[in-house]
Amino acid sequence: MTDQELQRYRDPSWFVEDAEIMRMASEAHQDDNDFVQPGTLYRQVMTPTDRDHLVDNIVGHLSQGVERVIQERAVKTTGRKWIPT
């Protein structure tokens, strides 16, 4: 990814009066990240048909005028973390 793309698509940061805004659980635990719950849903709750529909929907939406850098980021961000191990 080029420096320009990194700048354009960087993760947002939010600041209020020089303080960073953060979402935090009252007590941190091992499942406090953005991938545990969707990964569990994908691996343990969804049927193979549900998984196929989800993938078809994601691919369909990402193929409709979405820039290549966003497509690559979506695959790198979610693809590896949801795949059963």
How many beta carbons lie within 10 A of that of residue 67, not counting itself?
A: 12
Predicted model pTM: 0.53
Structure tokens at 23: 């979402």
Please write the tens of the pLDDT for every residue from 64-81: 988 999 888 888 876 655
Q: Are 21 and 27 in contact (CB under 8 A)?
A: no
**In angstroms, rounded to a whole number, what is the distance separating the alpha carbons of residues 41 and 35?**
10
Q: Report CA-CA distances (Å) from 50 to 45, 60, 66, 78, 85.
A: 9, 15, 24, 17, 19
For 3-46, the pLDDT digits (tens) are 777 777 766 555 555 566 666 656 766 666 667 788 888 889 99
Structure tokens at 16: 């209020």
- Whether 62 has a pLDDT exceeding 60, the answer reads yes
pLDDT tens digit sequence for 44-60: 999 999 999 998 998 89
